[in-house]
């Protein structure tokens, strides 16, 4: 008899306890800001083709054509010889927060051709990465 009267009371208390411990949703959750797909252009370079440098350095203008991410972008640069793909070390590029910006390629050897690959990645969204843009650069100086 005691079981018949105590059981409903016990179940009611248990239900109230579990329902009050449930995590409550926020009334106004922060909106999930979606970044625009990152895109850029190299206005002074013929992408996929051969370009000329006049000495051991080459200033390369980069223009981000999409909306620049809030946290900025990271530039990945790879410069290697066209034949053999031997890497040519370059200076580190600081994170970018303005557009357009300039990258200076250095240590270009005379009469050598290099394959230059550039890619941008959002600092706020690891999945927002541009496809690589590749061009070839020949140092025409004879030093």
* Total domains, the chain: 1
Residue 89 lies in a domain: yes
Residue 135 token pair: 């061009």
- Domain residues for the domain of 65 are 40-139
> In whole angstroms, what is the distance from residue 37 CA to residue 34 CA?
9
Tell whether 68 is covered by a domain: yes
B/e letters for 46-57, b = 16+ CB within 10 Å, e = fewer, are eeeeebebeeee
pLDDT tens track, the chain, 143 positions: 555 666 666 666 766 666 665 555 555 554 446 889 999 999 999 999 999 999 999 999 999 999 999 999 999 999 999 988 999 999 999 999 999 999 999 999 999 999 999 999 999 998 999 999 999 999 998 76
CATH number at residue 96: 2.60.40.10
């Amino acid at each position: 008899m005691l079981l018949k009267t105590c059981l409903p009371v016990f179940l009611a208390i248990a239900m109230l306890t579990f329902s009050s411990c449930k995590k409550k949703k926020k009334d106004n959750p922060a909106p999930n800001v979606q970044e625009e797909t990152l895109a850029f252009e190299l206005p002074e370079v013929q992408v996929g083709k051969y370009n000329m440098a006049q000495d051991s350095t080459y200033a390369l203008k980069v223009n981000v054509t999409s909306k620049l991410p809030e946290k900025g972008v990271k530039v990945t640069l790879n410069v290697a010889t066209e034949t053999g793909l031997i890497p040519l070390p370059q200076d580190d590029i600081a994170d970018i927060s303005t557009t357009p910006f300039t990258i200076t390629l250095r240590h270009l050897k005379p009469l050598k051709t290099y394959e230059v690959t550039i890619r941008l990645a959002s600092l706020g969204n690891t999945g927002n990465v541009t496809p690589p843009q590749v061009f070839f650069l020949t140092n025409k100086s004879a030093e």
